[in-house]
Every structure is written in structure tokens, then in C-alpha cells.
Amino acid sequence: MAVAVNGPILSLVGLTRRFGEIAAVDDIDLEIEDGEFFTIVGPSGSGKSTLVRILAGLERVDSGAVLLRGRAITDVPANKRPTAMVFQSLALFNHKTVGENIEFAPKMRGVDPRARRARALELMDLVRLPEAYYARPVTRCSGGERQRVALARALASDPEILFFDEPLSAIDYRLRKMLEVELKDLHRETGKTFIYITHSLEEAMVMSDRIGIMRAGRLVQIGPPLEIYQEPRSRFVAEFMGEVNVLATGEAGVDGAGWLVVRPEQLRPLAPGEAADVVFEGRIVNDYLLGSRKQFHARANERMLIGEIAVGAGGVPGPGEPVRLGFDLKDAVRVSE
Amino acid sequence: MRHRISPGFLAMLPVMALIVLGFALPILLVFLYSLMPPRTFSLAGDPTLANYRAAVTEGYLLPLGWSLGLAGLTTLVCLVLAWPTAKALVRFAGRFATLATILIALPIFISESVRLFGTALFMMPGGGIFAGSLNALFGLKIGSILYTRTATLLGMVYIHFPFMLFPMVLGLSLVPQDQIEAARDLGARPFQVFREIELPLALPGITVGTLLTFVLSLGANAEAAILGGQAVIVITKAIEQRFGYAQDWPSGAALTVLVILVTAAVIFPVLRRVDLDRLIRR
């Protein structure tokens, strides 16, 4: 069978890896398109690191297969896979210079020193590292510079797929935001397939073409960022997305089993006499200014509700004041698990 | 104004005293004796280089050569054997590694001579443990390597192996696993991982192990005496004989100084290139 040129670059078929009783990766099927930015999001212990380590060839599988453009690579060792990983720890070679780190993969392949150097300088330019850093020991680079060295080093092996195992998790907020944008630009410029691991859905939203939410070794929902945000298929996904209200159907006076997911911006303070499908009487506990929006927490029927309104769009009573809150059922997402 | 003595200096005094009395002074005495006329027992004689001349002309270069050769070979064999052992111990840290470490370290607590006599019993021809068992169980009759150079080398390796292994384990445990994985991920074959990552990062431990093994091997004589019979005369044996049986202190002292100089010539260039602090700081 001829493999379609624009078929999936990577296919995972029934991939399973157990550690003792626990399946870190539990029967995962997944197809990743060529040139895609795919992000796997999950809490710690969900098996996302194990999954990406399997794909890189650093972890063996108990059953299942990994196919690269239709060819099984399940038992191909890491050094023979056309992939490269940016590690969480970065794993820079601390006994080598910036240049030697970046040139590592070409050197292993026997590329001559002059060509290696030219390629390293090209990549340093791409990841915005000044040329003067070439001969500098990596131990004398700052956190952000080390990130760039790790990225350039992975790119230097000219991989078909780049893996990222939470490389930005140890970086302060502002630098992280900057690197997220740079990474997205880099993805567009290189046209390579990026597979990114993170525990932050916010980070995934910024960069990804598609997101896979992982829980206890399984991918519980896969889709474009907006779809995951607007149509979570379970309470887990909804709650993982951040601050949402999850109400049992009975609580909202709706028939049938399940839950309603109501995002903060869908819960509005009601003017006297204003109607909504579901109404709560309660008291404001606190409010927080989030730049252009204001978030408020309210207590109603022994539970906390989170709402958000645009600053200047009507008012919210101050903390301690009684309030009527409501939402319409067409805005809520109903989930069964 | 009262003169202040820093606590650091005070804390250092006992060790300083020990080094001066127990190490520097005896070495100085040996050096002075090596310059005295042969077969004298006083430091009052006229200084002479006669003992050094005799050391070269009266055939002591051969035992020195044997000592250096055996020490070098022992170090080499230990290096080759310890590397895979150390890798296994670091890789499978846990119950297996603890057990293996105990098994390797335990013999150190038993006197070296006892262990070597045990080995000799094991190697003995005919009624020895190994040959005797083979004969009794399978009717096999074999010869023995006891009292040969090979037996001496085996004994040296057996005695000095832990001194190579444990510093090497320490050195290897300094190599971060993620750097090894990164190297593999970037296309390094196992030998390239060894050359580019493991060897440079474990070098301090390997160097310490190599120096320990070499220096201890150079000073060893029990292996040659017990397992080597008369096949090998090492320099330490010759020195012992000069001081004891021959009652020629200046001659023994001159040989001692020669050994010290040779050892220093090997060690100092190596030590200068190694950052021992890295190993200790971890």
C-alpha cells in the first residue's frame, strides 16, 4: 500500500506501558499530522512524560506500535530515530561550550567541523543567540539562553519531529510568555512537527494546532484549542481548563443525570426583575481585578460560584452584599462524566 | 593589643602536628640516610651519592622495573574490569547494588595476608582447593599457576580492585542520566556516549581510582611473596631486605627515595589536571 504523502507523520496504535500495576500509558491510539503543533496536557502523573519518552525511543513499550510515516519504529533505538527532544531539565552538556552543544548531533554523524560551525551559527541566529556566545561554556548562560541552546541543539540534528517535555515549566512568567510566542513562530518558520508536553492548558492554548488532554494514561479528549475550551466532554477536562463552575444537574433544576459546566463569563449578576434559566440567590465573598475583566466569587446554596464581567459593564455588589446570579442553559455545556 | 589567632588555624594544628611528626620528619630522615656512607647507622657521616650509584649498578633497576610493570598492568586490568562493574552498580542502584557493594567491600576488612594465603591454598597444585576438587569430582588433573608471574598479577588485581571500583562508582554517579539520554536522542552510538559524556564527566573518579590502585600496587610486596614465590622480586621486597637482612640502612633509604621520586613523577602531572573538589563537593 502506498502511503499518502500528506498522511499522518506519526501513528500510535494501542500503545501501552505499565510500571508494576499502574499503566502509565494505557492503550493510546493517536495520529499526528505532518507539520502539526500537537500538545499533550495533563496533571503530573498522567503519563504524558512516559508517552513522549516512548515516542523518542527512551522508554520501551509493553504493547502497541509507533509508526513513522507508516513504518514501525517501535523497537528502533533513540539514536536512530529522526526525532529530537528538548528535555524538562534541558540536559545541556555542562562540560561543553554553547557551540559544542549545538554541534553535538552533526558531530555524531561525522559532519566536518567547518560545516558544523556554519550550521551552529545559523541556528544560533534562528533562536536569537548572539554569535559571541559560540565559545561560551553553557554553565555561564542564563535560564533563557540555556533554553535557546537546548532548542538549537535539538534543531541541529535536523529532526522530522521535535519533542518538548515541559521545557518552560521552570521559567518565570514573563520569559515564558515570550518563549511561547517564539516557539510558535519557530514552528511556522521550520514547518516541522512539534509534539509538546505541558501541565498548563493556558500554555497549550497559546501554541497548539490540536490539544490532547491526558488523564491516568489515556487521552480523554483531543481537539483544537477552542473546541476543548468551548465543548469539554467531561468534568475533568472542564475543571482542568481552569476556573469553571461545575453544577450537578439537580442543583440547577435540570432533569437527568450529569453535570453542567458554566464558564465564569457566562454567569452574570442579574438586575432586579431580570430573568435567567437558572438563578442563584447568594452573597458576594470577594472580587478581583484581572486587568480588563473583574472576577467575583459568590456563595449560594452552600457552594462557591465564580463569575467574570468586563470592567465598566454594569456593576457587581461589593463583598458581603447579597446578589442574584444567573445563566442560560444554552451557554452551559452538559457532560455525563 | 592582643594577637588574635583564627579558630581555623587552631583547628588545623593537630593535623599539622600529625603530618609533621608522622610523615614529613620520617621522610626527611630517610632522605638524609640515603646520603650517608653505606652500612653506617648514624647521620653524622659525610654526605655521598654512593648509595644511588650502587642502586643503579648493583641490579636494583630490575626489581624497580618489575614493580612499575606489575603496578601498571594491575591498574590497567582493574580499569577494564571496574568500568562495566561500576556502570552496573550505578545503573541498578538499589538492593542489587547494595548487595554487590557489600560482597566486594567485605574482603577489605580481612587481613591481606590471610586473603592471599587463602588464594594460594585455592591455587595449589594437586591437593589445592581448585585442582583437588576438579580431580575428586571429575577426575580432571590440571597444573597450577601458583608461584608464577600470572598468579602475582591475579593477586594484585584481586587485592586492589575495590580501590579502583569505588572511586569510579562515585565518578560515574556524577554523570546525569538525562545527559546520557540527550546524547542518545541526538544520535550518539553507545561508544560515542562513552567518549563524549561518560568519560569526561566521570574522569575525576576514574583518575582517583587509577592513582590509588597504581600507588598501592607499586608499594605492594605480599602478592609477589605469597603467590609469586621466587618468580618475581619487587622493589619493596628489595628495600625490606636492605633494611632488614642486609643491615644497610643508607642503601635501603636510597632505594626508598628512588621509589618516592618515581611515584611523584607519575602522580603530580596527573593530579594537576584533575579537579578533586568536584568529586568531593558533588
A8-46 tens-digit pLDDT = 999 999 999 999 999 999 999 999 999 999 999 999 999
Over range A116-122, report the average pLDDT.
96
User: Grid coordinates 654526605 are at which residue?
Assistant: B47
Q: Could you state, in order of their start, the residue ranges of all structural domains in chain B?
A: 69-109+146-251+267-280
Give residue A2's pLDDT band: very low, low, confident or very high (50, 70, 90): very low
Q: Is some CB atom of chain A closer than 8 A to the CB atom of B275?
A: no
Query: Which uninterrupted H or E stretch holds A254?
Result: none
Instruction: Select from B176, B184, B192 the Cβ nearest to the Cβ of A78.
Output: B184
Inter-chain CB proximity A79 and B184 less than 8 Å: yes
pTM to 2 decimal places: 0.81
Instruction: Select from B178, B187, B192 the Cβ nearest to the Cβ of A91.
Output: B178
DSSP states of A296-309: EEEEETTEEEEEEE
Q: Is some CB atom of chain A closer than 8 A to the CB atom of B188?
A: yes
Q: Is some CB atom of chain A closer than 8 A to the CB atom of B184?
A: yes
Q: What is the pLDDT of residues A172-214, one digit of tens each?
A: 888 889 999 999 999 999 999 999 999 988 899 989 999 999 9
Q: Is some CB atom of chain B closer than 8 A to the CB atom of A84?
A: yes
What pLDDT is recorded for position B282? Answer: 43
ipTM score assigned to the predicted complex:
0.85
Q: Judge whether residue B14 has pLDDT over 90.
A: yes
Question: Whose CA is closest to B71, among B199, B201, B183, B214?
Answer: B214
Taking the domain B69-109+146-251+267-280, which CATH number applies?
1.10.3720.10
DSSP states of B87-156: HHHHHTTTHHHHHHHHHHHGGGGS-HHHHHHHHHHHH-TTTSHHHHHHHHHH-------TTSHHHHHHHH
Helices and strands counted in chain B (H then E)? 15, 0
CB B248 within 8 A of CB B38: yes
Query: Which uninterrupted H or E stretch holds A13?
Result: strand A8-19
Residues of A with Cβ-Cβ distance to B187 under 8 angstroms: 79-80, 105, 108-109, 157
- Please give the residue that has the higher pLDDT: either A314 or A176: A176
Instruction: Select from B176, B181, B192 the Cβ nearest to the Cβ of A108.
Output: B192
